[in-house]
């Protein structure tokens, strides 16, 4: 997967340079609209081979909230500006830094918080062979995840019993059928807002 790693580093480097004005503007907006708290949200996630790393995102929630790890559309902890950033996935742009330093890839399973990897058993643990990604086949299928969870009586239970197992299945399938051009297709479909 040398070409995948080379592509990730090269594109993330130039992506950060090209998008730097946008990143700067978003940072200023967060500082003006959400002055209480940091601009960048940092959280420990599980990476390749189960290694813990720090993932970077633009902050979209209030500080010191007591919500769960599952985000639901319309939650009070999500600020108005944060809702816009999340809708257009702009909150995830700082993850380009994670790609550049090698913690993440453009395409792969979304990185989970510690604890979920412990639920993986048998062949399902193969997904830990992959670097987590900004996008991926499971991300495309569940691009409306927050809206879907908002419709559930118990979002956390629905995530743990329905979404998480299905994402694992999709990501194992991605690993077994990986190709560089499949990654390119996923990236293009992500940009166009299309399903695979």
- E-strand ranges in 18-150 read 40-46, 52-58, 105-107, 133-135
CA separation for the pair 42, 116 (Å, rounded): 18
Domain boundaries, the chain: 1-192
CA separation for the pair 23, 142 (Å, rounded): 25
**Predicted TM-score (pTM) of this structure:** 0.91
Interior CA angle at 141 toward 140 and 143, to 5°? Answer: 60
Average pLDDT over residues 45-61: 96
CA separation for the pair 78, 89 (Å, rounded): 14
For the chain, what is the mean pLDDT? 92
pLDDT value at residue 67: 54
pLDDT bucket at 2, cuts 50 / 70 / 90: confident
DSSP-assigned letter for residue 127: G
pLDDT value at residue 195: 84
Do 129 and 175 meet the contact criterion of CB atoms below 8 Å apart? Answer: yes
Q: Chain-centre distance of CA 111, in angstroms?
A: 6
């Amino acid at each position: 997967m040398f070409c995948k790693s080379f592509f990730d580093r090269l594109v993330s480097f130039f992506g950060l340079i090209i998008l730097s004005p946008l990143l700067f503007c978003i940072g200023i907006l967060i500082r003006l609209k959400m002055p209480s708290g940091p601009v960048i949200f940092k959280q420990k996630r599980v990476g390749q081979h189960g290694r813990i790393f720090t993932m970077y995102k633009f902050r979209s929630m209030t500080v010191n909230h007591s919500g769960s790890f599952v985000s639901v559309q319309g939650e009070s902890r999500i600020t108005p500006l944060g809702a816009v950033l999340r809708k257009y996935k702009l909150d995830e742009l700082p993850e380009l830094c994670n790609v550049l330093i090698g913690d993440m890839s453009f395409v792969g399973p979304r990185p989970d918080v510690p604890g979920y990897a412990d639920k993986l058993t048998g062949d399902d643990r193969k997904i830990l062979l992959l670097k987590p990604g900004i996008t991926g086949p499971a991300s495309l299928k569940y691009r409306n995840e927050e809206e879907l969870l908002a419709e559930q009586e118990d979002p956390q239970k629905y995530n743990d019993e329905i979404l998480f197992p299905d994402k694992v299945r999709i990501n194992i399938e991605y690993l077994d059928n990986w190709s560089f051009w499949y990654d390119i297709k996923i990236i293009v479909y992500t940009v166009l807002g299309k399903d695979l």
